[in-house]
Amino acid sequence: MADTVPSPDGAGSPGRGRYGEQVFRPDRQGEADRIDLGALAYDDTTMARLRALGAGPGWTCLDVGAGTGTVARRLLAEAEVAGVLAVDRDVRFLASHPVPGLTVLQADVTAGDFAPGLFRLVHARFVLMHLPSPQRMVARLSRLLAPGGVLVVSDAVDLTTASAPRTPYTRAMRAMWEGLRDSIGTDVSLVPRHPELLREAGLEGVAAEIHVPPLLPGSPISRFWADTWERARGAMVGTGLVDDAELDEAVRCLASSRCTGLSPGMLTAWGWKSPA
Ligand SMILES: C[S@@+](CC[C@H](N)C(=O)[O-])C[C@H]1O[C@@H](n2cnc3c(N)ncnc32)[C@H](O)[C@@H]1O
């Protein structure tokens, strides 16, 4: 269990900002494949939203915590944007797939001197939930928007509510969120506040939506959670909410057609900087 209570903006969560140091180490075999499974599950939804917001020729884009760069490359190939600056603390996966228009920058986006310029689109998916003070990050990312630009942030929302069925899947999902919070500080409890944070940052036309991919056997999202649980097994079992046998049962359930649980959803919120 966490031994400190996060401040309202999440800045005090234990382990906050330590993504990649323990559970999701980029040098551990298969980490790029795991990120790509998540991308396969969510990229079409992300791209549809970015296109609907107008991403297209002439747009300059910043992808924060770009991972393996699937969104950055699709923005270039499909939306034909002018260029994408893909930033990550660890760029080994980005650097291995260079494409024209893609610029890769290794940087810690929480560092005080992170100021890569102004962009028509600033996008951050599954990043803020891992960082200290999402509130501060939203304010900072808003300042990177050119006049008339749009900030788009996506993060996970936990759907294992108190009324969810008590299945191995549900117990494993709860253990995952608690274990990740205790070990690396990931906190999804604040994600429903993202639209409010965008408004507080002075953005206009703020709106949000949630996509929940179906947990079909063998689907990218089912394989993504099974792989994520393997990597987080120590942290999950450490919560006392599941033991190894129950976790194995939950993984088998995910691979079968018996899994009736809901995957965490992806909440996407966006807001515009005034054109003036
Ligand atoms: C869950 S992955 C998401 C990757 C990608 N955005 C996607 O949705 O496929 C989180 C990414 O954020 C990066 N990251 C975490 N903390 C960071 C920081 N402080 N500065 C820059 N990147 C960071 C990680 O290295 C990782 O690539």
- Separation of CA 276 and ligand 1 centre (Å): 32
Substitution candidate for ligand 1 out of 34, 104, 127 with most atoms within 8 A of CB: 127
- Separation of CA 67 and ligand 1 centre (Å): 5
One-letter-per-residue 3-state SS of 161-184: CCCCCCCHHHHHHHHHHHHHHHHH
Tell which residue, 91, 42, 88, has the closest CA to residue 64.
Answer: 88
Q: Which residues surround ligand 1 with Cβ inside 6 Å?
A: 19-20, 35, 38-39, 65-67, 70, 88-90, 108-110, 125-127, 130-131
Distances (CA, A) of 260 to 2, 41, 68, 170, 264: 29, 18, 30, 10, 13
Residues 6+ apart with CB under 8 A from 224: 34, 37, 38, 41
Residue 17: the pLDDT is 60
CA distance 225 to 159: 14
Give the phi and the psi of residue 198 in degrees, each rounded to 5.
Answer: -65, -40
Which amino acid residue places its CA nearest to atom 17 of ligand 1? 89
What's the whole-number average pLDDT of the chain? 91
Beta strands (DSSP E) in 89-198 are 102-106, 119-125, 145-157
CA distance 208 to 191: 11
3-state SS, residue 129: helix
CA distance 249 to 136: 40
Residue 1: the pLDDT is 29
258 — pLDDT class (breaks 50, 70, 90): confident
Q: Does domain 31-159+185-212+263-272 have CATH number 3.40.50.150?
A: yes
Mean pLDDT value across residues 1-13:
43
Mean pLDDT value across residues 172-188:
94
* Range with lowest mean pLDDT among 9-13, 24-28, 76-80: 9-13
> Above 90 in pLDDT, residue 144?
yes
pLDDT tens for 147-166 read 999 999 999 999 988 788 88
pTM above 0.85, yes or no: yes
> Above 90 in pLDDT, residue 64?
yes
- Separation of CA 160 and ligand 1 centre (Å): 24
